[in-house]
Structure 1
Amino acid sequence: MPESPNRRGFLRTAGGAALAASGAVRCFAEPARSDRPNVLFLMTDEQHHRSLSLTGNPYVRTPNMDRIGREGALFENATCVTPYCSPSRASMITGVYPHTHGILQNVSPGRNGQPPLKHDAFPNTECLLHDQGYATAFRGKWHLGDTGDFLCYESWGYASQKPGEYNRLLEERLPAAQFKDDQDPGRYLGRPVEKIRAIRDAWQPFQEVAKNVGYIATIGRSVVPPELLPETQITNQVLDLIDRHKEGSFMITASWSPPHDLWVIPEPYYSRVDRGKVKLPGTTDLPQWDQGGPSKRLGDLVGPDGLREYAAIYHGMVKYIDDQLGRILSRLDDLGLADNTLVLFTSDHGDMVGAHGCVGKSLFSFFDDLVRIPLLMRFPGRIKPGTVVTQPVSQVDYTPTVLDYLGQPAPGKIHGRSMRPLIEGRRVDWRAYAFCQRAANSRMLRTDRWKYVIRSKPRILALYNLEQDPNEDHNLAGDKAHASTLRDLHARLLDVMTKDGDPYLKDFPRDPLG
């Protein structure tokens, strides 16, 4: 089954066929106003865990994201299952790790690409609720194949249902022909992107070394106004869905791609952050496996000015999405649905935002910038305002948690657990670690103090003392003084892999230093 291209191609071209794989709604006759709770699952792509003002962002205010956390729960130690889009998204809706659901890379068409998530392989949160009579809908970035294969969805594009529908809207309002004399490379929605000199100078050199990810050097100011952006259309569609299903019970997902690349945003968001006030994190040496990767190469080519430009735009994109989220929360208020709606906000993984001199996420490492994610939940009357959960939680916990609050049983044989006991402050035996993986051959185990990473082939190790080195600047894996700690963490990782039925356990050594 072919998958539609993802948002990157959609944003770089004006062609109507370039639509990202995303989602839809499966509608049916609904009864009168239901007392059953609704669910709004709101997510971004590639959002840093500290990009909210609630979690310490000094550059922009995010009052709507903050509102969810202040009126509900903030999870301080939420971690993705992998810093890849598709595998994380599959784990969010199935409750199992990538090594089990089988989506190890981003879903892509072609004989050698990652196949999509099969509709009947694992229970899907929204399909389970659809079976219980819920109206279920998905708008935005799906990234798991064709939503039309799932009984709870219909086929839908990133910003519109029919191929070309969004592009026709854009062409009517902002004809591409008016920019025909602009020959600057790197476009957004088929329209020019205004770039500062540091970005322009890096464009061609990066194309020569970046292979198939040269597009990420498209960084700058867009001529497409906010009201015409595809993410604004996604929000419009979600508002319409809420209006249509306000008398019944629904689970609606809004999945916006920003602040994922392309790092392009129009005014007023482009100028929201003063570049002179952007503080770049330290640029210490990267592990060997990342030194030649595209994230570091682009960071080196654009230099400090380019890194500040990218970071400022990134935060402007976060602000834009916060405004979109605010429109949805206001609609719940206006319709009197807020008190009976569980709202969950999260992201699939993080972004370096200039840390270690890197742009984006194209690394093999498991830095906290990449693996920690924002997670907020609000459910008036069930979740106490101002709740802070400090235990490590994972994307595999989303499905059982949502179902628990809706009084539905979780599927059997999943890795996730309901976070409700943690939210309610009950004493419970909970995992004291975060687990993360990359494809088949890399694993991470994170505790309060330590982070341990192993790549099986070729053998590469990393060990960080997070208490003394929170920015992960100093890899202690080669320090004999920490050999015992490394071996202990490795043994613990193997225990986790065994317990969770990781089929790639056989590829990892018993002694990492042997």
Structure 2
Amino acid sequence: MQRRPNVLVIMTDEERYPPVYETDEIARYRREQLPGQQEIRARSVEFHRHYTASTACVPSRASLFTGHYPTLHGVRATDGAAKSARDPAMFWLDPNTVPTMGHYFRAAGYRTFYHGKWHVSHADLMTPDTQTPIASSDAAGKVVEPNHTLYKNANRLASYGFDGWIGPDPHGAAQSNCGLLRDPLFADQVVARLDELHASTDETPWLLVAPLVNPHDIVLFGILWRSWGYVFDDETVPEIPEPPTQDESLRSKPSCQADYVEKYGSVFLPQPQLPLFRRFYYYLHKLVDKEVRRIYQKLRASRFGDNTIVLYTSDHGDMLGAHGGMHQKWHNAYDEAIRVPLLISAPGLEPGRQIQQPTSHVDLLPTLLGLAGIDADAVRKALASTHTEAQPLVGRDLSRHLQNGNIPDEPIYFITEDEVSEGLDQTTVTGRSYEAVAEPAKVEAIITRLDDGSGGRLWKYARSYKNSLIGDPTTKAEERDKSEYELYDLDADPTEKNNLAHFGHKTRDSRAAEDKLESLLAEVRERKALHPQRR
């Protein structure tokens, strides 16, 4: 009897799918300087239109690991900037509400391990009477004992279905938490776990999640990076041209976008549009790829190399100055922010297939369960005895379609209600107060192909809104606030410059598409954006 496959999930943070305007030199850099990713790609099916389910870090990760949207799991915000981890507006995932990937695989008989960035609950060990996490490594990237052992013994993710996590979460402005220092330590933990599993006689299958930090260090570029004495000087990184939409006026876009650009330097730090800044982002890809390669080569050299499902993705992308000078990933649904890499390999799955149909992070959990031969619904029903919201997974099990590469077209839903500039600490680094990004600043979107009689066109339809209760069947909220809309023909306008929902850009075809997409958005929201059960 063939053993059930193991599962290795490798994640990066803030790695976007290559935008359409990237140059041949950048593509060559990726091929030559990211060997870890290339080795995984050579054995994988590649997805070219894969989208995160939510942004930013915390809502995205909670959605990926639960297979549900923030409307159900409740994790809508990312700590940092205006909010600490204990801000009243921060809602972390409760371990007995929506089951995680760890819960599903553990209930199916797997051993489950997690080594890397978590950022789904506030799992750090804390110094009493402070807001200071206990560090397991120092500013030189060295392990701090006995703190490392404390985390190991505390096993802080056990209630979320995982063992082995070593905190604290690599988040914030502490030097010891930057990806440059934490990623090698996380890779050490993953490699050690693979060595342990390889040497063991236990044949129980395992799930191992390995989420790394970079290229997230892009948010530390400038003052922080230099204050730590780090120097970026890598001649292999080519010149990175300005995004073609960098000087976009944003007058035809939702008002929150221009307001976010204006207030970004107050919420975080001012970020000049420097060539060095863009090159630094790609340099960070090279840094994290070293650790990706270490992990992947250790797997391939082990006895599990031919019987392990491998999934590679990222939690979200980065704007990198596109669309009027936007940075990071808030208050928008542009491809730079929400379109990410996805590679999947599995025993018996022919590599090299290229998937062009849109897919979502909420598809990943049901797909992994399908590839592992696990009855997702049977496991879910068993988990309902310990979880209040073990509702049916809303994503698609793509496992049966991967072999032929023919994935059915289906609307992809995205939602973010992460308002990073809003919280109890709305002050700049110099102590001056600032106003939060103006509403409507929450965003939902669908990406789908509409049939036009000749193969169809790919559209993105987005709505910026204020009232998060709209569409929630458990409330009587009405849409009294003025929503603002975006519509892009992604085939004709892949840089998303021309907002066809704006009166100045509407055409006969776009009006017809908008009518269809407005109805489709409401339908998909009702079907996929589930809400907690009334008890």
Alignment of 1:199-278 (within 5 A): 229-246=181-198, 247=200, 248=203, 249-260=205-216, 261-263=219-221, 264=225, 270-273=232-235, 277-278=239-240
Q: Is the 8 A contact 2:56 2:330 kept in 1?
A: no
Alignment of 1:477-488 (within 5 A): 477-479=501-503, 480-481=506-507, 482-488=510-516
Distance 1:168 1:302 in 2: 24
Question: Residues 233 and 102 (structure 1 numbering): CA distance in 2 closer, same or farther, change over 3 Å?
Answer: same
CA root-mean-square deviation: 3.7
User: Partner of 2:518 in structure 1?
Assistant: 490
User: Partner of 2:404 in structure 1?
Assistant: 425
User: Partner of 2:54 in structure 1?
Assistant: 82
Distance 2:25 2:96 in 1: 38
Aligned residue for 1:373, secondary structure, equals strand
User: Partner of 2:63 in structure 1?
Assistant: 91
User: Partner of 1:452 in structure 2?
Assistant: 461
User: Partner of 1:187 in structure 2?
Assistant: none
Q: Is the 8 A contact 1:269 1:316 kept in 2?
A: no
Alignment of 1:345-424 (within 5 A): 345-358=312-325, 360-379=327-346, 381-411=347-377, 412=380, 413-424=392-403
Q: Percent identity?
A: 26
Question: Residues 172 and 329 (structure 1 numbering): CA distance in 2 closer, same or farther, change over 3 Å?
Answer: closer
Which of 137, 162, 180 is the matching residue for 2:113? 137
User: Partner of 1:436 in structure 2?
Assistant: 414
Stretch of structure 1 that moved more, 469-478 or 481-490: 481-490
**Residue type at the aligned position of 2:349:** I
User: Partner of 1:317 in structure 2?
Assistant: 284
Alignment of 1:91-170 (within 5 A): 91-106=63-78, 109-146=85-122, 163-167=134-138, 170=141
Q: Is the 8 A contact 1:73 1:378 kept in 2?
A: yes
Q: Is the 8 A contact 1:466 1:472 kept in 2?
A: yes
Stretch of structure 1 that moved more, 404-413 or 264-273: 264-273
Aligned residue for 2:375, secondary structure, equals coil
**Residue type at the aligned position of 1:454:** R
Q: Is the 8 A contact 1:296 1:357 kept in 2?
A: no
User: Partner of 2:169 in structure 1?
Assistant: none
**Residue type at the aligned position of 1:389:** I
Q: Is the 8 A contact 1:434 1:447 kept in 2?
A: yes
**Residue type at the aligned position of 2:220:** L
User: Partner of 1:46 in structure 2?
Assistant: 14
Q: 1:280 deviation in Å?
A: 1.0
Q: 1:313 deviation in Å?
A: 1.0
Question: Residues 319 and 424 (structure 1 numbering): CA distance in 2 closer, same or farther, change over 3 Å?
Answer: same
Q: 1:302 deviation in Å?
A: 4.7
Q: Is the 8 A contact 1:86 1:143 kept in 2?
A: yes
Question: Residues 289 and 331 (structure 1 numbering): CA distance in 2 closer, same or farther, change over 3 Å?
Answer: same
Measured against aligned partners, the alpha-carbon deviations of 1:161-184 in whole angstroms (never above 9, x if no partner) come to x933312864799xxxxxxxxxxx
**Residue type at the aligned position of 1:262:** L
Distance 2:103 2:238 in 1: 48
TM-score by length of 1: 0.71
Q: 1:147 deviation in Å?
A: 5.2
Question: Residues 164 and 500 (structure 1 numbering): CA distance in 2 closer, same or farther, change over 3 Å?
Answer: closer
Q: 1:502 deviation in Å?
A: 4.5
Measured against aligned partners, the alpha-carbon deviations of 1:240-266 in whole angstroms (never above 9, x if no partner) come to 111112234321111112111224599
Stretch of structure 1 that moved more, 276-285 or 35-44: 276-285
Q: Is the 8 A contact 1:69 1:376 kept in 2?
A: yes
Q: 1:426 deviation in Å?
A: 6.8
Aligned residue for 1:414, secondary structure, equals coil
Distance 1:387 1:89 in 2: 26
Structure 1 gaps of 5+ residues are 1-33, 149-154, 174-214, 505-514
Question: Residues 166 and 404 (structure 1 numbering): CA distance in 2 closer, same or farther, change over 3 Å?
Answer: same
Measured against aligned partners, the alpha-carbon deviations of 1:303-359 in whole angstroms (never above 9, x if no partner) come to 44x2x2121111111111111011011111222321111111101111112323535
Aligned residue for 2:521, secondary structure, equals helix
Distance 2:242 2:343 in 1: 27
Q: Is the 8 A contact 1:274 1:312 kept in 2?
A: no
Question: Residues 271 and 224 (structure 1 numbering): CA distance in 2 closer, same or farther, change over 3 Å?
Answer: farther
Q: 1:62 deviation in Å?
A: 1.5
Question: Residues 378 and 452 (structure 1 numbering): CA distance in 2 closer, same or farther, change over 3 Å?
Answer: same
Measured against aligned partners, the alpha-carbon deviations of 1:189-234 in whole angstroms (never above 9, x if no partner) come to xxxxxxxxxxxxxxxxxxxxxxxxxx89x9xxx99999x7111000
Question: Residues 275 and 285 (structure 1 numbering): CA distance in 2 closer, same or farther, change over 3 Å?
Answer: farther
Q: Is the 8 A contact 2:409 2:448 kept in 1?
A: no
Question: Residues 452 and 69 (structure 1 numbering): CA distance in 2 closer, same or farther, change over 3 Å?
Answer: same
Distance 2:446 2:516 in 1: 11
Which of 485, 507, 517 is the matching residue for 1:461? 485
Q: 1:484 deviation in Å?
A: 3.1
Which of 35, 53, 57 is the matching residue for 2:27? 57
Question: Residues 85 and 55 (structure 1 numbering): CA distance in 2 closer, same or farther, change over 3 Å?
Answer: farther
Distance 2:34 2:139 in 1: 32
Q: Is the 8 A contact 1:477 1:486 kept in 2?
A: yes
**Residue type at the aligned position of 2:517:** L
Aligned residue for 2:463, secondary structure, equals strand
Measured against aligned partners, the alpha-carbon deviations of 1:385-439 in whole angstroms (never above 9, x if no partner) come to 10212221111111111111211111451101211122111766x3432211112
Aligned residue for 2:115, secondary structure, equals strand
User: Partner of 1:9 in structure 2?
Assistant: none
Distance 2:183 2:23 in 1: 21
Question: Residues 55 and 383 (structure 1 numbering): CA distance in 2 closer, same or farther, change over 3 Å?
Answer: farther
Distance 2:406 2:177 in 1: 51
Number of residues of Structure 1 aligned to a counterpart in Structure 2: 412
Q: 1:114 deviation in Å?
A: 1.9
Q: 1:112 deviation in Å?
A: 1.4
Q: 1:92 deviation in Å?
A: 1.3
Matched, 1:475 2:499: yes
**Residue type at the aligned position of 1:500:** K
Distance 1:267 1:319 in 2: 20
Q: 1:110 deviation in Å?
A: 2.5
Question: Residues 272 and 419 (structure 1 numbering): CA distance in 2 closer, same or farther, change over 3 Å?
Answer: farther
Stretch of structure 1 that moved more, 369-378 or 51-60: 51-60
User: Partner of 1:326 in structure 2?
Assistant: 293
Q: Is the 8 A contact 2:140 2:181 kept in 1?
A: no
Distance 1:54 1:76 in 2: 17
Aligned residue for 2:364, secondary structure, equals helix
